[in-house]
Amino acid sequence: MNGAPSLEGKTVMIVDDDQTMRMLIRRMLGRMRIGTLIEAEGGEQALQQLEHSPGPCDLVICDWNMPGMSGMELFDRVHALKPDLPFLMLTGRADANSVIAAKKAGVPAYIVKPIAPEELKTKISFLLAKGA
């Protein structure tokens, strides 16, 4: 029995101020047959899209370091609005203090860049199965 949830039909939001990184993640998710992709350049735009989106969002993939609102601040705001919405933090921070800070804040999953497609798929499957 395959316990991995189907990724087809899922809506994923990518939040990153780096257009090239959003494009890379979009391509990886496309290969995974994710249903709908929503992109935001930063935290404020992401919050607006979550609040005004016609359908539900199944997962947020967010960069930690962004101008304006950081990924951690966005996580706090999203978690307050939609506590059950899965959230995957992406970062170049590989130090133990950052990992501990993310875990203490309640971030359910974390990937250190550069992103490997298999690791991304594994984390997404874990988060979506956890929410099912």
Q: In this predicted model, what pLDDT tens digit does every residue of 56-90 receive, in sequence order?
A: 999 999 999 999 999 999 999 999 999 999 999 99
**In the chain, helix, strand, coil percent, each to 5?**
45, 20, 35
Asked if the structure places residue 6 within a domain, the reply is no
Range of the domain at 15: 11-131
At 1, is the pLDDT very low, low, confident or very high (cuts 50, 70, 90)? Answer: very low
Residue 110 sits in a domain whose CATH number is 3.40.50.2300
Asked if the structure places residue 59 within a domain, the reply is yes
Asked if the structure places residue 55 within a domain, the reply is yes
- Give the pLDDT confidence score for residue 122 in this predicted structure: 95
Asked if the structure places residue 52 within a domain, the reply is yes
pLDDT tens-digit series, residues 84-126: 999 999 998 888 888 888 889 999 999 998 999 999 999 999 9
Q: Count Cα atoms within 13 angstroms, Cβ side, for 9.
A: 3
Question: What is the tally of structural domains in the chain?
Answer: 1
Asked if the structure places residue 26 within a domain, the reply is yes
pLDDT at 131 over 70: no
How far apart, in Å, are the Cα atoms of 52 and each of 37, 41, 56? 15, 16, 10
Both structure tokens of 51: 């609040």
pLDDT tens-digit series, residues 15-55: 999 999 999 999 999 999 998 999 999 999 999 999 888 88
